[in-house]
Chain A
Amino acid sequence: GAGVSQSPSNKVTEKGKDVELRCDPISGHTALYWYRQSLGQGLEFLIYFQGNSAPDKSGLPSDRFSAERTGGSVSTLTIQRTQQEDSAVYLCASSLLLGEAEQYFGPGTRLTVT
C-alpha cells in the first residue's frame, strides 16, 4: 500500500513568512510524529499525535511552531515568522502504535529560509 507522503518536497521561503508542511500517514496508523533533521545532524523530535489523545508538544522549539492532526489522519506542521535557523528537513513518520512499533518515515520536506 501507499507509504507516508509529505508535501511539498521542497519549500523556499523568505524570512518572516509562515509555512505549512503536510503529512499523509499510512492508513490505519494511529501514531504520527514530526521530526526535524538539520544538515548532517540527527533526528530532533518535535511533536507526536496518538489517536484522540492530546499531542505531546514537548519537542517544539518555540511558540512559532504548531501542528494539528485532523480526523486522526492528515497532519500539518505550521511555522510562523520563519527564521533562517528553521532551515532543515522536516520528516513525518507514522506507526500502528505509539512507542514500541516501527515508525515509517515520509520523504521529508526540505525547508530553506532565505
Chain B
Amino acid sequence: GENVEQHPSTLSVQEGDSAVIKCTYSDSASNYFPWYKQELGKRPQLIIDIRSNVGEKKDQRIAVTLNKTAKHFSLHITETQPEDSAVYFCAASSSGTASKLTFGTGTRLQVTL
C-alpha cells in the first residue's frame, strides 16, 4: 500500500519568513495530493491540493509543488503569519476503487514574532 513520509516533524520560523514542508510517497499510481491544516484542538481542514497533471499550484501565500518522477511534493508558505501556526498534514491518494488518503505524520509549524 501507499506510504507517505513527511519532514520536518517540527518547524519554527520567524514571522514574515517562508516555510517549506516536504513529503514523499511510495505508490507511483497516486495522483491526488492534498494538504490539511489542523489548528490546536480543531479539526483538520483542506488548504490546498494538487493533482498529478500539474507541477505547481498557488493560492495566495501558499503553494504546492509536485515532482512525480521523484515522488515528492512540497508545501510552501510565504510571508508567514502567527495564524499559520498549526500542524500540517500531507496526504496521497490514487484514483480507482481502492483509493483512500494516506496521511503523513504531520509537521508542527510555529511562527514566532
Q: Which residue from chain B places its CB closest to the CB of A100 in the assembled complex? A: B32
Residues B32 and A56 in contact, CB atoms below 8 Å apart: no
Please provide the chain A residues from 32 to 58 with a CB less than 8 Å away from any CB of chain B in the complex. Answer: 33, 35, 41-43, 45, 48, 53, 56, 58
Query: In the assembly, what is the distance between CA of A56 and CA of B101, in Å?
Result: 12
Q: Which residues of B contact A26 (CB under 8 A)?
A: none
Residues B31 and A100 in contact, CB atoms below 8 Å apart: yes
Interface segment, A13-21, A71-79, A80-88, A101-109?
Answer: A101-109
Number of interface residues of B (CB under 8 A): 27
Task: Please report A residues at the B interface, Cβ cutoff 8 Å.
Answer: 33, 35, 41-43, 45, 48, 53, 56, 58, 91, 98-100, 102-103, 105-108
Known A100-B99, A107-B42; 6 more pairs at CB < 8 Å? A33-B101, A41-B105, A42-B104, A43-B44, A53-B97, A99-B95
